[in-house]
Amino acid sequence: MGQIRKTNTVAAIKQAFISLLGSKGLQAMNVSDITRQAQVGRGTFYTHFQDKKALLLEVENDLLQQLHSDLDQMMPDAVSWFLNDQQHLQPAPFLLETLKSFYHNHVVVAQLFSEQGDPYFLGKVRRVIFADLLPLFDHPKQVVPVVGISLEYAREAIIDQVLGLIVYWISKPVPEPPEQILQVIVTVLNHAPASLLIWKAQPEENKK
């Protein structure tokens, strides 16, 4: 019974924190806000968490550990996808698993990515998703950039494209299903950013 009560209390504190991320933001909220929202005493809060930062880290670690667990079995497929599907014609299994994980937790993930959230969270997500893939980019026998672009800039452009689309997608009030946004990512990976837009010719009267 005591363990169940502890679990329920911690869950209430985390839920209050997540709710306040959206309404007040990380910097503006304090422990009193959290305890009031969770309907627990300050002493109860400090029994479980050292401070607000410790609570933030635990909420993020819950998400990142789940993501890492989801991706753990997918990494061999991810490496094969990068090496063998050079045109990225098939959706990457590891990206779909990432999108599903975020979709399942889209409210808290979106709030952590927001301007009121944790500015370091994106970097933490990046390390989890791409940690096993980054060494591939550093192997000249496996990856060669186009002429005029160094390998490191090519690598960063690809990763930033993927992460930028994920952040934009998950931050929408109602994100599309993971399978749908995955097709968008695959399309973007197959085109240079500028080639995704077709500029219409201006009417003659507008040129004068």
DSSP string over the chain: -HHHHHHHHHHHHHHHHHHHHHHT-TTT--HHHHHHHHT--HHHHHHH-SSHHHHHHHHHHHHHHHHHHHHHTTHHHHHHHHHH-TT--S--HHHHHHHHHHHHTHHHHHHHHSTTS-TTHHHHHHHHHHTTTHHHHT-TTT--PPTTS-HHHHHHHHHHHHHHHHHHHHTSSSPPPHHHHHHHHHHHHTS-GGGG--PPPPPHHHH-
Mean pLDDT, the chain, as a whole number?
Answer: 83
Q: Is the pLDDT of residue 85 over 90?
A: no
What's the whole-model pTM score? Answer: 0.81
pLDDT for res 90: 63
Q: Which of 6-10, 13-17, 181-185 has the lowest mean pLDDT?
A: 6-10
